[in-house]
């Protein structure tokens, strides 16, 4: 859990919690509808080794599978939240069932470079998406 990037935390969590391979699901969806996905990386076809690790791809996948919620909707444990860190980097985290010290916010489980951690960063970065995906 201490290796990888933020999306790896999500992929591993879905494998563990639901026995659902989000990596495979994203790849299959991209093979079927490659044109629906961002072209930020100059690829002409899906790449099963990396596509699931790109937050914009996860955002499209989640939206295509009916998981997108309004950003203002109340967060619940298990929700996924996408954010922008360092003013330009896409990021994804899982909403925890534990709350901040003041009880006002849920913590998130994510990896922002120091391995998977549970932190009070739900409101630390601009939110770009809110998803509830239970396969």
Indicate whether 126 pLDDT > 90: yes
Three-state DSSP class for residue 7: helix
pLDDT, tens digit (0-9, with 9 covering 90-100), for 12-57: 999 999 999 999 999 999 999 999 999 988 889 999 999 999 999 9
- Residue 85 is predicted with a pLDDT of 95
pTM score, whole prediction: 0.94
Beta carbons of 26 and 58 less than 8 angstroms apart:
yes
pLDDT at 21: 97
Closest by CA position to 95, among listed 130, 47, 52: 130
Helix (H, G, I), strand (E, B) or coil at 68: strand
**Please, what is the average pLDDT of the chain?**
94
Alpha-carbon distance of 51 to 36, in angstroms, equals 13
Check whether 73 has a pLDDT greater than 90.
Answer: no
Q: What is the mean pLDDT of residues 91-108?
A: 97
Q: Which residue has the higher pLDDT, 113 or 118?
A: 118
Residues 46-75 as b or e (16 or more Cβ within 10 Å = b): beeeebbbbbbbbbbbbeeeebbbeeeeeb
């Amino acid at each position: 859990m201490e290796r990888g990037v933020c999306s790896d935390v999500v992929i591993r969590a879905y494998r563990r919690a639901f026995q659902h391979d989000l990596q495979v699901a994203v790849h299959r969806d991209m093979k079927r509808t490659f044109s629906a996905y961002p072209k930020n990386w100059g690829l002409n076809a899906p790449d099963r080794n990396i596509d699931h690790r790109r937050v914009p791809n996860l955002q499209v996948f989640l939206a295509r599978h009916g998981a997108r919620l309004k950003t203002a909707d109340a967060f619940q444990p298990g929700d996924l939240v996408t954010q922008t860190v360092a003013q330009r980097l896409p990021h994804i985290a899982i909403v925890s069932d534990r709350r901040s010290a003041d009880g006002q916010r849920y913590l998130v489980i994510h990896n922002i470079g120091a391995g998977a951690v549970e932190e009070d960063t739900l409101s630390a970065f601009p939110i770009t998406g809110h998803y509830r995906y239970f396969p």
